[in-house]
């Protein structure tokens, strides 16, 4: 039988609110940035200025990327139900997953394996081989637009290096990239989510909570898309374009004449 559950995150009194033991009114409002408090809330420890700077850079990096599935889902839902903005944002966030935006979680697990291995090069080669045998995509690598390199990746890694945060996970990313290129015989871009996995990992963010950072960042981007949809609606045009792009074609055994006979 487990002990009675407790929470260490927040309590409130008639006079104040306390988050992780800090007074909201005396210690946090006007004194802590959103990123700083977010890290304190999620990880339970006060972040260093360097950690805050790198995590902030990660959030900026992944907030926006155009009319991608997350943005389209949010806009379409808002077009259908404009009275419920929260539903539209939720629809967009629901598409943050293992193939889009949220791939830093899978990448982080692999980087942890390499960072904790006694032979990082061999571990990286094994990871590449495992994914090739399964025909699986390697999270953190490849991009449909940014080829041969993702322009966001070197900038983000440079921030981590400049702030003195780059460590075992950033090194593991470089090791894995070399193994990928060696196996393919040509270069495959390290995408932004791969770089974010390395940077957040070196900031002490566990792999199992890392996708939450993608949700936080993308949420802000989706609100921006909904605001644009309010001012300059685009989804009806995209809906109609979809109707023309994917025309109806009857299935081979779906002849209405035969059904009527």
Q: pLDDT tens digit string along 243-254?
A: 889 888 888 876
Q: Does the pLDDT of residue 257 top 80, yes or no?
A: no
Evaluate if pTM is beyond 0.75.
Answer: yes
Task: State the first-to-last Cα distance of the chain, in angstroms, to the nearest integer.
Answer: 67
Q: What is the mean pLDDT of residues 176-196?
A: 96
Q: Identify the pLDDT of residue 254.
A: 66
**Annotated domain spans of the chain:** 8-47, 49-243
Angle between helices 152-162 and 192-202 (to 10 degrees): 10
Q: Identify the pLDDT of residue 52.
A: 98
Beta-strand pair 22-23/17-19: antiparallel
CATH topology of domain 49-243: Cytochrome p450-Terp; domain 2 (1.10.230)
Q: What is the mean pLDDT of residues 48-60?
A: 98
Q: Does the pLDDT of residue 258 top 60, yes or no?
A: no
The model's pLDDT over 76-129, given as tens digits with 9 standing for 90+, comes to: 999 999 999 999 999 999 988 877 777 899 999 999 999 999 999 999 999 999
State both tokens at 137: 């995509």
Confidence of residue 139 (pLDDT cuts 50, 70, 90): very high
């Amino acid at each position: 039988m487990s002990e009675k559950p407790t929470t260490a995150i927040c309590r409130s009194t008639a006079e104040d609110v306390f988050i992780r033991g800090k007074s909201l009114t005396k210690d946090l409002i006007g004194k802590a940035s959103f990123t700083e408090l977010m890290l304190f809330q999620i990880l339970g420890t006060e972040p260093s200025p360097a950690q805050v700077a790198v995590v902030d850079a990660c959030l900026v990096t992944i907030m926006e990327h155009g009319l991608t599935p997350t943005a389209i889902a949010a806009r379409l839902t808002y077009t259908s139900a404009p009275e419920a903005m929260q539903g539209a944002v939720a629809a967009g966030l629901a598409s943050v997953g293992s193939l889009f935006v949220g791939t830093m979680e899978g990448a982080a697990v692999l980087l942890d394996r390499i960072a904790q291995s006694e032979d990082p090069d061999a571990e990286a080669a094994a990871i590449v081989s495992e994914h090739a045998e399964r025909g699986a995509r390697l999270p953190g690598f490849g991009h449909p637009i940014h080829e041969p390199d993702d322009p966001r990746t070197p900038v983000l890694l440079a921030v981590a290096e400049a702030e003195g945060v780059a460590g075992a996970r950033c090194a593991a990313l470089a090791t894995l990239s070399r193994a990928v290129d060696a196996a393919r015989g040509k270069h495959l871009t390290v995408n932004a989510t791969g770089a974010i996995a390395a940077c957040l990992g070196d900031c002490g963010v566990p792999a199992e909570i890392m996708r939450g950072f993608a949700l936080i960042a993308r949420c802000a981007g989706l609100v921006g898309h909904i605001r644009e949809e309010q001012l300059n609606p685009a989804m009806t045009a995209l809906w109609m374009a979809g109707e023309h792009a994917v025309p109806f074609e009857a299935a081979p055994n779906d002849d209405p004449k035969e059904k009527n006979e």
